[in-house]
Amino acid sequence: MLFLHSLGRWAVLGGLVYGIIRAYRGWLGNQPFTSLDNTVRHSVATVAHVQLMLGYALYFVTPLLQTFHLRDTEHDPGTLFFGFQHVVVMTVAVVVLTIGSARAKRQPSSAAQFRTMALWFTAALLLIFLAIPWPFSPLPNRPYFRFPF
- Identity at 129, one-letter amino acid code: F
Least distance from ligand HEM to the Cβ atom of residue 100, Å: 14
Tell me how far apart the alpha carbons of residues 119 and 97 are, in angstroms, rounded to a whole number: 10
The DSSP secondary structure of 54-81, one letter per residue, reads HHHHHHHH-GGGTT--TT-S---HHHHI
Picking from 107, 93, 104, the residue whose alpha carbon sits closest to that of residue 48 is 93
Pick from 4, 38, 84, 87: which binds ligand HEM (CB under 6 A)?
A: 87
Residue 41 touching ligand HEM (CB under 6 A): no
Q: Does 96 bind ligand HEM (CB under 6 A)?
A: no
CB 31 within 8 A of CB 73: no
Rule CB under 6 A: say whether 2 interacts with ligand HEM: yes
Selected binder of ligand HEM within 42, 49, 58, 75 (CB under 6 A): 58
| Residues in Cβ contact with 124 at an 8 Å cutoff, skipping those fewer than 6 apart | 16, 48, 93, 94, 96, 97, 100
Piece of 36-44, 98-106, 109-117, 128-136 that binds ligand HEM (CB under 6 A):
128-136
Angle, nearest 10°, between helix axes 35-61 and 86-105? 160
Stretch that binds ligand HEM, among 18-26, 30-38, 90-98, 104-112 (CB under 6 A): 90-98
User: What residue ranges bind ligand HEM (CB under 6 A)?
Assistant: 2, 5-6, 9, 12, 48, 51-52, 55-56, 58-59, 62, 64-65, 82, 86-87, 90-91, 94, 128, 132-133, 142-143, 146
